[in-house]
């Protein structure tokens, strides 16, 4: 599941607030120490935002997830998942966006963070997993790369057209929302 984490760091009021997907998860008013760590949880995962001093009365902000820096966590996610983003512009009312993730160790398939239970069928050279979303037929193909170091290659087709794999690092590096206010 993807989360948006926002931080408000009041440098004169000492207030620190953290929101996850728009829901307040931590509020501290009147903190006299403007640097340090704040711990919160997303589901069962422990997260820490660390505020460190930087030259010129500025601050640096770091996010740790499950004991790992954001960069290390993102790298781990890249090894564990494959991700595709697909927009169905032919949807009846408005374009429908799908985030399709495959967890590599369990082969669990998620569409917009919902676990799907789809049947895979053996085909020449690998497997195909077919599923329908609205009027779009998706086929998740798993094929041998022919190289033991590369392993299995996963390809997603939407109505027979390949969907480019999204880069998890790019998705998770969207602009971080850190609000620094003088209140």
Q: State pLDDT tens for residues 107-137.
A: 999 999 899 999 999 999 899 999 999 889 9
Spatial separation of the C-alpha atoms in residues 109 and 139, rounded to whole Å: 12
Q: Does the residue 36 lie in any domain?
A: yes
Q: What pLDDT score does 111 carry?
A: 94
Query: Domain range for residue 21?
Result: 5-66
88-102: average pLDDT: 83
Is the domain of 112 the same as that of 162? yes
Which of these, 111, 109, 159, lies nearest to 138 by C-alpha position? Answer: 159
Verify that 154 and 113 share a domain, yes or no.
Answer: yes
Are 85 and 153 found together in one domain? yes
What is residue 179's predicted lDDT score, i.e. its pLDDT? 39
Note whether 44 and 120 are same-domain residues: no
Residue 160, beta-bridge partner list? none
Number of domains, the chain: 2
CATH number reported for the structural domain that contains residue 135 in this entry: 2.40.128.180
Mean pLDDT (whole number) for 91-115: 88
Q: Of all residues in the chain, what percent carry a pLDDT higher than 90?
A: 57
164-166-167 Cα angle (round to 5): 135
- Between residues 160 and 172, which one has the greater pLDDT? 160
Same domain flag for 85 and 163: yes
- Beta strands, E only, 113-159: 114-116, 120-123, 126-133, 136-144, 152-158
Note the pTM of the prediction, 2 decimals: 0.72
State whether 55 and 119 are in the same domain.
Answer: no
CA distance 35 to 57: 11
For 24-56, how does the pLDDT look when each residue is reduced to its tens digit (9 = 90+)? 999 988 777 788 899 999 989 999 999 999 998
98-103: average pLDDT: 93
pLDDT of residue 91: 63
**Residue 100 forms part of a structural domain:** yes
Q: Are residues 59 and 86 in the same domain?
A: no
Measured CA to CA, the distance from residue 49 to residue 114 in angstroms comes to 28
In a domain, 182, yes or no: no
pLDDT confidence tier of residue 183, bands split at 50, 70 and 90: very low
Quick check: is 72 in a domain?
Answer: no
Does the pLDDT value for residue 177 go beyond 50? no
Pair 89, 162 in one domain: yes
């Amino acid at each position: 599941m993807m989360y948006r984490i926002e931080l408000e760091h009041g440098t004169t009021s000492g207030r620190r607030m953290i929101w996850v997907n728009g829901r307040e998860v931590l509020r501290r008013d009147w903190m006299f120490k403007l640097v340090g760590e704040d711990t919160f949880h997303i589901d069962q995962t422990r997260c820490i935002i660390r505020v460190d001093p930087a030259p010129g009365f500025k601050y640096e902000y770091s996010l740790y997830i499950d004991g790992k820096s954001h960069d290390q966590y993102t790298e781990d996610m890249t090894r564990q998942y494959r991700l595709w983003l697909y927009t169905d512009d032919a949807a009846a009312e408005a374009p429908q966006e799908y985030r399709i993730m495959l967890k590599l160790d369990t082969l669990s398939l998620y569409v917009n963070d919902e676990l799907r239970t789809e049947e895979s069928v053996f085909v020449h050279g690998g497997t195909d997993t077919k599923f329908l979303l609205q009027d779009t037929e998706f086929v998740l193909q798993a094929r041998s790369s022919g190289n033991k170091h590369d392993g299995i290659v996963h390809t997603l087709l939407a109505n027979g057209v390949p969907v480019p794999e999204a880069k998890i690092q790019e998705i998770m590096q969207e602009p971080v929302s850190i609000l620094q206010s003088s209140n």
